[in-house]
Structure 1
Amino acid sequence: MAGRLMALQVEVHGADSLQCQTSQRLSSGGYAVSRADVALFHEQGFVHLPGVLSQEELQQVIEPVYTMFMRNEIPIPGKDLCDMSGAKGRTPDQYTVYNVMLPRKYYPEWQGNLFERRCQQIADQLQGGDMAVDYDQILAKRPHSEDAIFAWHQDMAYWPPHTKETATATCWLAVSAATLENGCMRYVPGSHKEKELRKHEPVGKTREESHALKTILRGGDAVKAWPCKAGDVIVHNERVIHSSGPNLSDGWRRAYVLAFRKRSTVAEERDMGFSHSHNDTVNWDKFHKHGVA
């Protein structure tokens, strides 16, 4: 593991990073993002916000529903339950990157929960308001799984590129502590400032075979791994390059993703027939403009 990280020239930032100490939960139930963290989000393409959920809130709001999805107790149609490692021929009890798309759709009782309301405030503070939920996603990495890797990518490579606005605040919640060993998030800070998206290609042979995409790092890319505590959130934008490594630990690495975009953008996507469901029938030619194969 250490050798793999060294080869990527990874710099590690701890969960107690000083840059985030002034962003905090409020007694009113909301969450205040400091001016410094707003600036940092726009400078590096992501920001780590500590303690967005307390341990009690995590156990009450997230854990019960998350567990039902992990136990396959809530029906998920078609490709919205899949293995994002890119492996084929596995059953859900074998998936190493257990992915549920749109859990809010399949369990509507989860909509409007405390975490969602808090992230709405965060997204509005980071992106200037008028943000709306675009999609959500459960991502859990099986223990002792070398291939539980989410490949390097930019989120915009997955989405229609022709919307008038692209501003995004993707809130990545650590449902369990994210560490170097179990596959915490990794970023290339500042990569969102490049004029063009990098070329992406499917992890499998085609987009139909594997929904996951990958891009290649360049020699000058400085990778930063970002461990964080359960209840912490990392928010990233639509263009920053990111990934996560394998889970070599004894326990699941569990995360929940809730992404916000401008209300007008969400409406444009839906008008195109794009809902972020893997069951969408999409003409992937519209992505070729950005070199996505």
Structure 2
Amino acid sequence: MKQINIILGLVLTRVRLRIDSLLCNQPKSWLCFCVVFAAPFDTEVSESVVPGLFLQGVLSKDEMRELEEEFMAFVRREVHVEGRDFCDMSGDYTKPIESFSIINIMLPSKYNPRLKGNIYEKRAASITEQLLGSDMALDYDQLLAKPPNKPDAEFKWHQDLAYWPVTKDTRTASFWLAIDDSRLENGCVQFVPGSHLESNLRHHGPLHGDRDKSHTLAATLSEDDKPKPAEIDRGDVTVHHERILHGSGGNFSSTSWRRAWVVAFRSQETIKKEREIGFTHSHNDNLKVLNEVGKESEVIS
């Protein structure tokens, strides 16, 4: 199994997670993944001890082709997406669509119900249940695309929790599926090892002044931060914790896209509390709600 430096400095363990044979077209229903844990796998994992995973070859070539077709239908604007849920994460909301550098589509399964329960979502849900328990559920999905020749397609450093309501239950599994081979040249994700262990979230500020101009938040790296690139292949997946600091650079390739499909899982109770305050992960959510998320002083109980 190839090596990947994601969130190093912890105990590297190999484990086997069961992929239900009904969900997997592969001849084997058991796959071995490289996993990074803060504790041995046979200890309690319902707490925040799973900072990151690397899962190799989660989807077959045929499965990837089908997902890619659905993905590009959104990029070509063949699927209607409401308001700010189709935006550029590198620019403000006034940026013309033809100039987008990081095409961002929030909640694709909302706008194309055919995507609900797709093979990727089912497989990710199976893995999440094994890692974090049977009460986990899909919180949101997202598509991200950096076209070729977009050196300004930088996704600013951030922790996912800065975008979300802070809750007592910290269990999170955010899956990042590579639609293309993901390399430094075309803007692969980079993680800051150990940042999920910090006692407080980093300070995040709106990239363009306020959340009404742009959804994007930005944190700053410290001199001690040593980002590690996650250079993974098409069909591979990373899974990360809500507090891990990560970001990505521009796409300097003249030929390669850098596309990713995100599905994120939190506990059913956490999702219920999010929806009760009007938070759905849509960029069209009430601005007052968006301005109140990511505050550790206001934990939703």
Q: TM-score normalised to the size of structure 2? A: 0.84
Structure 2 match to 1:175:
179
- Residue 260 of structure 1: how far off its partner (Å): 0.6
Alignment-derived partner of residue 48 in structure 1:
54
1:237 maps onto 2:235 in alignment: no
Please show how residues 5-20 of structure 1 align to structure 2 within 5 Å.
13=4
CA distance in 1, matches of 2:64, 2:208: 35
Q: Quote how far apart the aligned CAs of 1:147 are.
A: 1.1
Alpha-carbon distance between aligned partners in 2 of 1:208 and 1:243, rounded to the nearest angstrom: 22
The correspondence of residues 252-267 of structure 1 with structure 2, limited to 5 A, is 252-267=257-272
Q: Which amino acid is 2:232 matched to? A: C
Q: What is the aligned length?
A: 277
- 1:37 is paired with a residue whose SS is strand
Does 2:189 match 1:195?
Answer: no
Deviation at 1:160, TM superposition (A): 1.3
Identity of aligned residues (%): 43
Cα distance change, pair 32–281 in 1 and its aligned pair in 2 (3 A):
farther
The reply on whether 1:113 has 2:107 as its aligned counterpart is no
What secondary structure does 2:35 align onto? helix
Aligned amino acid, residue 55 of structure 1? K
Task: Indicate the residue corresponding to 2:227 in structure 1.
Answer: 223
Q: By how many angstroms is 1:222 displaced? A: 1.8
Contact residue 177 and residue 236 of structure 2 kept, 8 A = yes
For residue 274 of structure 1, what is the aligned residue in structure 2?
Answer: 279
Q: 1:29 — aligned with what?
A: 23
For the Cα contact (< 8 Å) 1:23–1:33, is it kept in 2?
A: yes
Q: Give, in whole Å, the separation in 1 of the partners of 2:130 and 2:292.
A: 31
For structure 1, the 5+ residue unaligned runs are: 1-11
Answer yes or no: is the 8 Å Cα contact 1:160–1:286 preserved in 2: yes
The alpha-carbon distance between structure 1 residues 43 and 68, as it changes in their structure 2 partners (threshold 3 A), is same
* Residue 102 (structure 1) aligned to one of 104, 107, 123: 107
Counterpart secondary structure, 2:157:
strand
Structure 2: gaps of 5 or more residues: 7-11, 40-47
Q: 2:162 aligns with which of 157, 162, 168?
A: 157
- Determine the structure 2 residue equivalent to 1:129: 134
Which has the larger helix fraction? 1
Which 4+ runs in 1 deviate beyond 6 A?
A: 18-21
- Output the CA distance in 2 between the equivalents of 1:70 and 1:38: 34
CA pair 176-136 structure 1, distance change in 2 beyond 3 A: same
CA gap 1:64/1:213 in 2 versus in 1, 3 angstroms: same
